[in-house]
Structure 1
Amino acid sequence: MGSSSGKVLPESSAKSGYFCTIKSVVELRKVKKLDGERCKPNPHACLWRWRSDNRASKEGNSKEVTEPVPLEERLRNPNAKFRAKFDPRITARYDIKALIGRGSFSRVVRAEHRRTRKPFAIKLLEVRGREGHEACQAELGILRRVNHANIIRLAEVFETPHRVYLVLELATGGELLERVVARGTFRECDATRALVMVASGLCYLHTLGVIHRDLKPENLLYYHPGQDSRLIITDFGLACWDNKSSDRKECKTSETKDWALRTLCGTPEYLAPEMLARRPISSAVDMWALGVITYILLSGSLPFDHNSRPRLFRAILRGNYSFHGNPWNSVSTLAKSFIERLLTLDPNDRMTAEDALKHPWLVSMAASSSNKNLHRSISRNLQQRASQASSRCPSSSSAPGSKIAMRSGSRPGSGPRLGVGDRSQCSLKIAT
C-alpha cells in the first residue's frame, strides 16, 4: 500500500527491474509467456500493490544449464525450461509444480516432496561473486537460526557455485489484508488476534538479535485458509543482526555490521525516522513498522501517505499523522494508545515487542473496546487508495519514483525481494 514508491533496496550491480508498491489484495492474476513470464494485475482488482516483474539480468543467468529444452517439450510444458535450471539433487527429491513468483535475481516455485507429497516453496537465488555469496549467507544465517510458529521455516538448503536453493514451508492462507477484505466482519478483537501473533514473532526475532527491516502486510502470510491458521512473518532478504547480537558467525566484522545498520532499505511508507535520518538502527525499526501496520489494519489507510517521497519522508520524520475520518471515531482509545506508543519518534521511547504483548489492548484482546464492525470503512478506504494509486503506477522501469537505490554502502547481489504463499493464478512474494 502506498503511493508511487517501491521498496528501498541497496543498489544492485544489475540495474534492471523495479517494484511499484500497489498490490492486489483480492486477485492478482498471472499471465505466463513462453520465454519471458511477466506478472500482470487484474485491472479490476488492484488494491495493494501492482508488481511489474522483469526478466532476470544477464549476469543472473546460470551457466550450469548446458542442454536446451526441446521446442516440443516447451510447447507441451511451459515450465520445462525453468525446471531444467534446477539442480538434479532437487528434482530427484521434489516435483516442481509451477512458477509462483519471480524477481530480478530470484525465482520461486511451488513444489511437492516426492516421498511425503508435502507441499513446499523453493526459492532459487542467482548468486555471483564473493560478495553475492556473502549477502546470501547473511540471509541464510538468520533463516537457519530461527524456529518459531510465527516465523517462516526453512526446511533445507542446496548450494551450487552460482545458485542457492531454499526449501521453505508453503503458506497457502493469503496475506493479512487479503484475509481482512475477504471477511464479512472485522472488529478490533480480530485485529488483536493477528497482532499478537506478529508481536510474538518479533519478540522472538529481537531476542535473537535479528532485525527484519521490511515488516509490512505483504510479508505477513497465513499458513492455511482456515480461521485457526497461524500468521507467519516472511521475507528475510533485508534482515540483519543488531549491535546487541553476540553471534559473530553471521556478522563476521564490525564493518559489515555497521553497513547493515546504516543502510537505508525497506519500503518507504514503513521506514522509521531513524532510518531516514541515517542513524544506526535497532529492533525499534520493526516496532515502528508494526505501528504502521496496526494503523492500516484498523482503518484501511496509511498514517503517512503522500504522492512525493520528500513529503512522505518529512511527514515520517516529524511524526505527522492523525486519527481523523472514518473509522477512527469508532476505534477505542486503547487501540489508538497502542499505535501512539509505536509511532514514537524516539526509538528509546518506543514500545518493544515484549512491551506490546503486555499492552492492555492486546492482553484483553480488545474485550473492553468497541465491538463495531470496521469492515465497510476499511474496504472503502482500501478501494479509494487503490483507485488513486493505480492511476499513478509507473508502466516501465524508466518511470520516475519507481525505485530508490543506494548510492553508497550497497550490498552487491541484492535484488527485489518477494515473499511466499501459494494462491493459484497469483503472483507471490518469496518467503525469506
Structure 2
Amino acid sequence: MGCGSSKVLPEPPKNCCVDFVKAVVKGNKKQKLFEEESLKPPGKKNYFWGVYCSSDAQEPTPPAAQPPKQKHKQGDQEVTKQNKVAKYRAKFDPRVTARYNIKALIGRGSFSRVVRVEHRATKQPFAIKIIETKAKEGREVCESELNVLRRVSHRNIIQLMEVFESHERVYMVMELATGGELFDRIIAKGSFTERDATRVLQMVLDSIKYLHSLGITHRDLKPENLLYYHPGVDSKILVTDFGLASSGNKAGDWLMRTTCGTPEYIAPEILLRKPYTNAVDAWALGVITYIMLSGSMPFEEENRTRLYRMILKGRYSFAGEPWPNVSNLAKDFITRLLTIDPNDRMTASQALKHPWIVTMAASSSMKNLHRSISQNLMRRASSRCHSSKSGHSSGSNKSRRNWEKDLLERNLKYQPHHELQ
C-alpha cells in the first residue's frame, strides 16, 4: 500500500459514522478484480491465519459432463458482466471516482466493503473502506474510529489519508498493506527465530506505546490486525483496525468499562467486568507473543465458559514443542505480560526495555522454530475446520455462527476475521 507522506484530512463531520463490522485493509496475491468478485456466488468459508477451509464444499462437475460453451452465450455473459460493473461503479460517490480508479474488491462485511483503488494523478495504490451509515452499530463506533485515525501519525500504524462523506455512506481512504498478515509471512518465510520475533515486537510495542501516550487503547490487538506494509523482507509492520479503540485522557488514568474484544485475547479484568486501563493491550501482546513463538494459543477451548475460566486463572503452560528450544528470557517476557493483576503487568514502555527485546534475543538460541510453529498453526486450523463441519451435522459442537451469537449475548463485540460473508 503505497502512500504519500502527507495526509489530506477534512474537518471532522458532525455526524461521522463508521461500520461496526470492521474490515481489514490489506491486499495479497489472491485479490480478484471487483468485476469478478461481484459476480462470484457467496460461499461459506472458515478462515484461520491464512488457511481457508470450506465448510460446504461441493465436488466440481467433471469437464466431460459440462455442456460445450457457445460463443453467443459467452458474448451475452460478457455484456451482462460489463453492465454489472457499470452499475457497481455508478454506486460510488462521483467525488471518489473523480480522484480514484476502482480496481478490486478486497473484502465485504455486514455494513462495509473495502476496495483497492489507484489515485488517478499519482498512480499510487490505496484502500477505501466504504461504510453504510444507516446502521445503528456503525454510528456507535464512528466517533472512536475516525477520531483515532485522525489523531495518529506513526510509521507502524495504518494511516487515514482522506474521508468523503455522503448522505448514506462514508468513504475512508487508507494506506494499503500488500505484505499480508503476520502469520502468513511466518509460514511462507521458511525460517523464524526469536530474533525475528523481537524485530516484530519492537515495531508493535513502539506503536502501542505511542497510542497509550495519546490516551488511546486499541482493545482488539491480534495477529489478524498486524499487517506487513509490502512483501519485501525489510517491510515494516502496520497496526490496523481501530473499530473498538477507545480515546481517553493521557497519563494512563482513563478507565474503560465496555466489554469488547476477541475472546482468546481478552484480559481477565474485562471478563470480570471491572473498570480497566490500557493494560488490556499489554495482555493481548502477551498472547500474540506466545502464538508467535509456538504457533499455538495460550488459552484455547471450544467451550467459552471453560476458556474464560482459563483466562481468569491465567492457566497456560510452556509444554510441548517448540518450548524446550525457547529461551527463558522469552518465557519471562510472556509471563510478565500475561499477569492477572493489571497493576503488575508490564506496560508497553517497560516491555520495550525488557532484556529480551533490548538485546534482540542475543543470548537466546538461534534455533529455527519455523517447523514447529507451522505444524501447530496447521494443526489448529485443521481442528477448527473439523469442529466447524461437525457442528453442522450434530448438536455436540456449536457452529461458528452460534458461537458469535453467544458472544453477542455476552456483550462481546467479536469481529469475524476479514468479515467476508
Unaligned runs of 5+ in 1: 1-15, 20-25, 53-69, 248-256, 420-426
Aligned pairs for 1:13-412 within 5 A: 34=38, 38=42, 41=45, 74-76=80-82, 79-128=85-134, 132-133=138-139, 135-242=141-248, 244=250, 261-393=256-388, 399-407=401-409
Contact 1:300 1:381 in 2 (8 A): yes
Alpha-carbon shift at residue 51 of structure 1 (Å):
9.5
Contact 1:181 1:375 in 2 (8 A): yes
Tell me the distance in 2 between the aligned counterparts of 1:218 and 1:291: 15
- The DSSP-based 3-state class of the residue aligned with 1:120 is strand
Letter matched to residue 281 of structure 1: Y
CA separation of 1:137/1:304 partners in 2, compared to 1, >3 Å: closer, same or farther? same
Alpha-carbon shift at residue 130 of structure 1 (Å):
7.8
Alpha-carbon shift at residue 168 of structure 1 (Å):
0.2
Q: Deviations over 1:45-95 (max 9, x none)?
A: 98657699xxxxxxxxxxxxxxxxx99765126544332221000000000
- The DSSP-based 3-state class of the residue aligned with 1:151 is coil
CA separation of 1:28/1:375 partners in 2, compared to 1, >3 Å: closer, same or farther? same
CA separation of 1:18/1:89 partners in 2, compared to 1, >3 Å: closer, same or farther? closer
CA separation of 1:348/1:242 partners in 2, compared to 1, >3 Å: closer, same or farther? farther
Q: TM-score, structure 1 length as denominator?
A: 0.77
Aligned residues: 369
Percent identity of equivalent pairs: 57
CA separation of 1:402/1:316 partners in 2, compared to 1, >3 Å: closer, same or farther? same
Unaligned runs of 5+ in 2: 1-19, 56-75, 393-397
- The DSSP-based 3-state class of the residue aligned with 1:232 is strand
Deviating beyond 4 angstroms after TM superposition, the runs of 4 or more aligned structure 1 residues are: 16-19, 26-37, 39-43, 45-52, 70-74, 129-132, 243-247, 394-399, 404-410, 414-419
More helix by proportion, 1 or 2?
2
Contact 2:181 2:224 in 1 (8 A): yes
Q: Which protein, 1 or 2, shows the higher relative CO under an 8 Å CA cutoff with sep ≥ 6?
A: 1
Alpha-carbon shift at residue 35 of structure 1 (Å):
6.0
Max Rg structure? 2
Give RMSD over aligned pairs.
Answer: 3.5
Q: TM-score, structure 2 length as denominator?
A: 0.79
CA separation of 1:263/1:407 partners in 2, compared to 1, >3 Å: closer, same or farther? farther
Contact 1:47 1:385 in 2 (8 A): no
Q: Deviations over 1:96-147 (max 9, x none)?
A: 0111101000000000000000000000011127884453132101100000
Contact 1:74 1:80 in 2 (8 A): no
Contact 1:103 1:416 in 2 (8 A): no
CA separation of 1:169/1:39 partners in 2, compared to 1, >3 Å: closer, same or farther? farther
